[in-house]
Every structure is written in C-alpha cells, then in structure tokens.
Amino acid sequence: MAYSDKVLDHYNNPRNVGSLDKSSADVGTGMVGAPECGDVMKLQIKVNPATGIIDEAKFKTFGCGSAIASSSLATEWLKGKTVDEALTIKNTDIVNELALPPVKIHCSVLAEDAIKAAITDYKTKKGVAVEAGALAVH
Amino acid sequence: MITCWQCKKELEKGLFCPSCNALQSPPTDYFTFFSLPRHLSINIEALQAKFYDLSRKLHPDKYSRKSETERANSTAATAVLNDAWRTLKNPITRAEYLLAQSGLEIGEQRSKDVPPELLDEVFELNMALEELRHGDQSAKVELATAREKFQAMLAASDADLENLFVKHDAESCPPALAAIRAVLNRRRYITNLIRDVDKELS
C-alpha cells in the first residue's frame, strides 16, 4: 500500500509539531489513543480570548504515517477557526484531503476525536473558570 | 433433528455417531467442538488431554482407507481442532474469541475504552523512547523504571481478567464482557509499549 503524496508531505514535513502550556486557561488539550495499533495522539488548541478564534494549534503523534498526517492536517485546519467552526471538521474531510485508504480511516477518526477532546477540555476549563469568577464576586 | 450421514440415525452432540461411530462434519464453534460450556475459566490440563486424545482420533492418517466423506470430515475436524486448541489454551485469545462472538471485537472501537491517565503514561513513555533514539542516554533510566511500572500494570490486568472471568462464568452477563474488553484493550496497549521499550533497551 502506497501513501498518497499529501500524506508523505505531512509525514516528512509535519506542521505545528510541539506543545502548548497545558495549564493555560486558553489552551485545550486532547489526548486520544487507539489500542489496536498503539497510536497515541496529543492535540492542543490555543484560543484567543478576545476574538474566540483558535490562533495556535499543536500536535504530537506517536503512530503511523497516516496518523501523523491526519493530526498535522487537523492543526492546519484548526487555525483561524472559532471553536464551534472547529467542531464541524469531520474525519471524512481528512480522508478525502489525504486520500486515505480504507485501512487507514481509523487514523482520521482518531484526529477528529482529538479535536473534539481538545475543544471539550477548553470548554470545561472555561466553564470552571467562569464559575470560579462568579464565586469570587459573591 | 440432525442425523448421521452414514447410518441416518439421530445424532447426539459429539463428533462421532453413537450408533455406527462414523466421524461427522465438525462444529465450527470452538467451545462446542470441545463440548465445553461457554466459560472463560478453563482447566487447561483437562483441555490439553482432550486435545491430545482428539488429535489421535481425528488424524487424517487414520482415515486414508475410509470413504471420501469421512476423509473430508477428518481433515476439517483436524483443522478446527488445531485452531480451537490454539485459541482456547491462551486466556487472552480465548476471551477475544468469546468477545468477537458476542459482537464486541477488540479494535473496532476507539479511545473510549482507554483510561486517560494511561494515555498520559503512554505519551510520556513514547517521548522518552524518542529521546533515547535521538541519543539521549539519560532516557534509559527513565525507560527502565517505566518498564517495571508497565510490567506491574500488566500483572494487575491479568489479575483483573482472572476475576472478571469468574464473574462472567457465574452470571454470563454482558457487563462482565464489556469490562473484559476494556481490560484487554488496556493490556494490548501495555504489551505494545513493553515490546517497544525492550527493543530500545536491548
């Protein structure tokens, strides 16, 4: 099975590898894994508090080329979107963009899960932060 | 009613006709094949004795002068026998087999069965492995410690499995199967990691 040129490009030059400050209130972290292949994927977003737009996205993936390419592509797509827009990214979009074969579709699913997990983490943090603020006022 | 292909008399369960002793077409289900209840705790010595006994009784060499039907049944039964023994003798493959039959295949689901704290550990360990591959020898100590921790986790999962097997056999309940699947998933993750660490440290 040959990887598509786009997968190879992301694999050889992954975009946005790295990490953001997990403890920052503006950062959401998603950590997902696939027991079957042993892959583990960390994806982080940093939301600009003034605009609500994701201005930074980073990932680190241990796994196959398709998993790395899927998460690399996901971080590219995340930047410039609002959190709600980011939730509309579907694994099928990643499959189409990277021309993933059927046996690698689960890699794109993992990337979608990672996006959702990162956003959930961000929203949870914001929810907690708002409550804490309200408590402080009282 | 199922009848013997040779004497047409009614069959009981079992590989051989009780009337004419002709070898029948074998069941494909491994538990049925060994006449075992669908239990996860198995007496391995008894199963092995049965395996050896059936290996002799079903061997194709014994059927070389028999009818074409019996020769075909012998080949088919020997194939099922070997697959069944290989699958059932190992507690992990045995549980995976039962899960697959219950529509709970391993690997068809996603991260939901993996506890988040394990993912963090997996991630950290992978980071250390990468550092070592890039020549950072200090990662070796970290990896050796991690290996011990993961081996302890593996032993703990095996103990969990044993308890869950007993629970499953007592109640045959789906919750036990779901819990078993979760443990098997965790276990697979851990064994992959230990394999990777062993490769780097050897």
> Model confidence over B124-183: pLDDT tens digits?
888 888 888 888 788 888 888 888 988 999 999 999 999 999 999 988 667 888 889 888
pLDDT at B50: 96
* Three-state DSSP state, B42: coil
Contact predicate A28/A118, CB 8 Å: yes
- Across the interface, of A32, A38, A60, the residue whose CB is closest to B111 is A32
- Give mean pLDDT, residues A75-103: 94
* pLDDT at A39 exceeding the cut of 90: no
Those residues whose C-beta lies under 8 Å from the C-beta of residue B153, and which sit 6 or more positions away, are B186, B190
* pLDDT at A53 exceeding the cut of 50: yes
Indicate yes or no: CB of B111 within 8 angstroms of CB of A60.
no
* pLDDT at A92 exceeding the cut of 90: yes
Mapped to the 3 state alphabet, what secondary structure does B128-159 carry?
HHHHHHCCCCCHHHHHHHHHHHHHHHHHHHHH
Residue B104 burial by Cβ neighbours in a 10 Å radius (0-12, 13-18, 19+): middle
Sign of the Cα torsion B66, B69, B70, B76 reads: positive
Residue B77 burial by Cβ neighbours in a 10 Å radius (0-12, 13-18, 19+): buried
Indicate yes or no: CB of A106 within 8 angstroms of CB of B110.
yes
Domain ranges of chain A: 5-129
C-beta neighbour count of A106 within 10 angstroms: 21
Q: Which residues pair with A45 in a beta bridge?
A: A28, A57
Cα–chain center distance at B113: 19
Within 8 A of B193 by CB-CB distance, chain A residues are: 38
- Flag residues of chain B having pLDDT under 50: 111
- Nearest CA to A110 out of A51, A60, A52, A67 is that of A67
For residue range A95-123, list pLDDT tens digits in order.
999 999 988 888 899 999 999 999 999 99
Range with the poorest average pLDDT among A4-18, A77-91, B115-129, B151-165: B115-129
Within 8 A of A31 by CB-CB distance, chain B residues are: 116, 119-120, 123
Rounded to 10 deg, the angle between the B139-171 and B91-101 helix axes is 60
- Regarding an ipTM greater than 0.90, the answer is no
A10 touches chain B (CB under 8 A): no
Terminal Cα distance for chain B, rounded: 60
- Give mean pLDDT, residues A35-64: 91
* pLDDT at A135 exceeding the cut of 50: no
For the annotated catalytic residues of A, the residue numbers are 37, 107
Rg (CA), chain B: 23
Kindly list the distances between the CA atom of residue A80 and the CA atoms of A13, A52, A57, A94, B175, in Å, as whole numbers in the listed order: 21, 10, 10, 17, 44
State the fold for domain A5-129.
Answer: Sufe protein. Chain: A (3.90.1010)
Kindly list the distances between the CA atom of residue A98 and the CA atoms of A37, A66, A106, B90, in Å, as whole numbers in the listed order: 20, 8, 13, 40
Indicate yes or no: CB of B119 within 8 angstroms of CB of A113.
no
Kindly list the distances between the CA atom of residue B140 and the CA atoms of A73, A79, B134, B144, B148, in Å, as whole numbers in the listed order: 33, 37, 12, 6, 12
What is the rounded CA–CA span in Å between residue B90 and residue A35?
A: 20
Kindly list the distances between the CA atom of residue B18 and the CA atoms of A25, B15, B27, B63, B68, in Å, as whole numbers in the listed order: 75, 9, 16, 18, 20
Rounded to 10 deg, the angle between the B91-101 and B68-89 helix axes is 110
What is the rounded CA–CA span in Å between residue B190 and residue B92?
A: 14
* pLDDT at A131 exceeding the cut of 70: no
Query: In the CATH scheme, what is the code of domain B1-89?
Result: 1.10.287.110
Kindly list the distances between the CA atom of residue A134 and the CA atoms of A120, A122, B140, B148, in Å, as whole numbers in the listed order: 21, 18, 48, 46
